Amino acid sequence: MTYEYKIGTSRDGMVTLDILGVPAPHNEFVPFSLYLDLGNGGARGHGWASDEWLWGFVTQTQRDALKAYIPDAGAHIFVRDLKDDGLTWRDFECEAIWPQREVRTTGHRIPFAIVLRAMIELEEPEP
């Protein structure tokens, strides 16, 4: 499988995580921010899509490469992400949240996760 994870401060300026030297994360894409129970016992999804990019560890260099896009506690960014079907890649505009606590050990951060929320799926550009 080819990984297409990208990050950028604009859609046209996105670069692959591979170019940054950052391995592909484990992702936990969720298409809705909340599920509402229906009167008939069913459920309906509402709200924004969200994701969490998770790594078992990142090196200081990889952390610094990601920090360039999320310089504060959070940032408005663009990402290319894998949806919950595990097959579909799409571009999103979103809010990225930097980890509140980073566990440091010998030049590494373990584990490491960036939260992506308020994700807006963008239309695919015309070929």
pLDDT in tens, 34-50: 889 999 999 999 999 99
- How far is Cα of residue 25 from the mean position of the Cα atoms in its chain? 9
Asked whether residue 81 is domain-assigned, the answer is no
How many domains, the chain? Answer: 1
Residue 28's pLDDT band (cuts 50, 70, 90): very high
For residue 66, the enclosing domain spans: 1-49+57-70+91-97+108-127
More confident residue, 108 or 23: 23
Average pLDDT over residues 7-13: 97
Phi-psi domain of 41 (left: phi exceeds 0; alpha: psi -120 through 50; beta: other): left
- pTM comes to 0.89
Asked whether residue 66 is domain-assigned, the answer is yes
Asked whether residue 102 is domain-assigned, the answer is no
Most confident of 71-80, 99-108, 118-127: 71-80
Asked whether residue 78 is domain-assigned, the answer is no
Residue 2's pLDDT band (cuts 50, 70, 90): low
Distances in whole angstroms, Cα of residue 49 to Cα of each of 35, 84, 90, 120: 12, 10, 12, 7
